[in-house]
Amino acid sequence: MANSPAHLLLITTGGTIAGRAAHAADNVTYRTGELTPADLLAAVPALAGVPLRTRALAQVDSKDMSHALWQALVQLLAVELARDDVTGVVITHGTDTLEETAFFLQRVLAPAKPVVLTAAMRPATSLQADGPQNLLDAVTVANTPGACGVLVAFGGQVHAGDEVRKVDAYRLQAFDSAPAGPLALVEEGRVLPLRPWPQGVALGAVVCDLALAQWPRVGWITSHAGFDAALVDAAVGAGFDGLVLAGTGNGTLHADLQAAAERAAAAGVALRISTRCASGRLVGDAPRGAPASAEGSAAQARVALLLDLLAKAATPSTPSSISA
């Protein structure tokens, strides 16, 4: 496609923001991913004059987000961000795994242009529909001079893609990035910066050039009272390449989980320790049976370990057709 006048790209992937329910009072039993990009834009009259191009990539409930879709999204973004006429990208996404996708994209691409994810906690048919305002805010952020990196615009706040967490299952203010807090606020069409935009060194899209069959198997297991070590032993027996162990408190592990982790490590499984707590990072150097993750949540730690193993699997001779 020949370059056109400067514009934003809107990529849709489904989620509640594109969902419909049988009646306006139903905020739970709706169907996700039913609205088209044109439907989403039509609900926000203020976007009528904004230069936008759209691309419907998927129509999924983000609880079912896949590595295949991540790979397709990275490949699409790398191509689009390289275009001089694309000034930024907005991605609509479900809330359930948004923090994982945002973390993945920031680590892989660390884009110099803004890539802003947004979502909704209420379907488009709801009396409390929050999708239109969140989409407007995301476009506003993507059009902000100097904005860069993977960002999440939600509920009037802007979060860094590698810090954001979903912290509530139902209320509209469902995301946070404690302890640092949001990067910016969006108020009546104005972006009010609080902290610098995220910077980083891209891990390189080469890791996404590997066939999906070559992607390592990485999961996470949570420590809890009465832990059954069979969970870890089964994962090792099933051929998992890596495991994140979400410990209690400051990464502490049930004694049976720690013993199982030591067996897993001896079998060659890569391990990271995280926390099952809603916020905070691991502190101190107390031995936990495996390296502590630098990431804030178990979900982010799993993506980080996945990327570490992908990078090791990608040989220097692996051709990469993408750059960001």
pLDDT at 321: 42
pLDDT of residue 182: 97
Instruction: Identify the CA nearest to 234 among candidates 226, 243, 225.
Output: 243
Q: What angle do CA 172, 112, 74 make, to 5 degrees?
A: 70
For residue 144, indicate whether it is catalytic.
no
pLDDT at residue 2, rounded to an integer: 58
CB atoms near residue 24 (< 10 Å)? 13
Burial of 268 (0-12, 13-18, 19+ CB in 10 A): exposed
The verdict on domain 7-193 having CATH code 3.40.50.300 is: no
With contact defined as beta carbons under 8 Å apart, do 178 and 142 qualify? no
Ranges for all domains in the chain classified under CATH 3.40.50.1170: 7-193
pLDDT at 316 over 60: no
Across the range 290-307, mean pLDDT stands at 90
Place of tokens 């995280």: 274
Q: What is the pTM of this model?
A: 0.94
300-308 average pLDDT score: 95
Alpha carbons 161 and 137: distance in angstroms, whole number: 16
**In the structure encoding, which two tokens stand for residue 112, read together?**
């110099």
Q: Is 114 helix (H, G, I), strand (E, B) or coil?
A: strand
- Short-list 148, 124, 99, CA closest to 39: 124
Q: What is d(CA 226, CA 272) in angstroms, rounded to the nearest whole number?
A: 21
Q: CA-CA distance, 246 to 166, in Å (whole number)?
A: 16
Q: What is the DSSP string of 173-220?
A: --EE-TTT--SEEEETTEEEE-SPPP------GGGGTS-GGGSPPEEE
> 179 phi and psi, to 5 degrees?
-90, -10
Alpha helices in the chain (DSSP H): 37-42, 67-81, 98-109, 131-142, 230-237, 255-266, 298-313
Topology annotation, domain 211-313: Rossmann fold (3.40.50)
Which one from 16, 97, 101, 118 is the annotated catalytic residue?
Answer: 16
Q: What would the mean pLDDT of 59-71 be, rounded to a whole number? A: 96
Indicate the pLDDT class of residue 205, thresholds 50, 70 and 90.
low
Per-residue pLDDT of 249-285, as tens digits, reads: 999 999 999 999 999 999 999 999 999 998 888 887 6
Per-residue pLDDT band at 128 (split at 50, 70, 90): very high
The 10s digit of each residue's pLDDT in 75-125 is 999 999 999 999 999 999 999 999 999 999 999 999 999 999 999 999 999
Contact 31, 19 (CB under 8 A): yes
What pLDDT, on a 0 to 100 scale, did the predictor assign at position 323? 40
* Residue 321: other Cβ atoms inside 10 A: 10
Closest CA to 142 of 199, 91, 195, 69: 91
Q: Give Rg (Cα) of the chain.
A: 20
- What confidence tens digit (pLDDT) does each residue in 11-56 have? 999 999 999 999 999 999 999 999 999 999 999 999 999 999 999 9
Q: How far apart are alpha carbons 54 and 76 in whole angstroms?
A: 12
Element (H, E) at 55: strand 52-60
pLDDT tens, residue by residue, 150-196: 999 999 999 999 999 999 999 999 999 988 999 999 999 999 999 99
d(CA 135, CA 131): 6
pLDDT of residue 78: 94
Q: Residues of 286-309 as b/e, b for ≥16 C-beta within 10 angstroms?
A: eebbbebbebbbbbbbbbbbbbbb
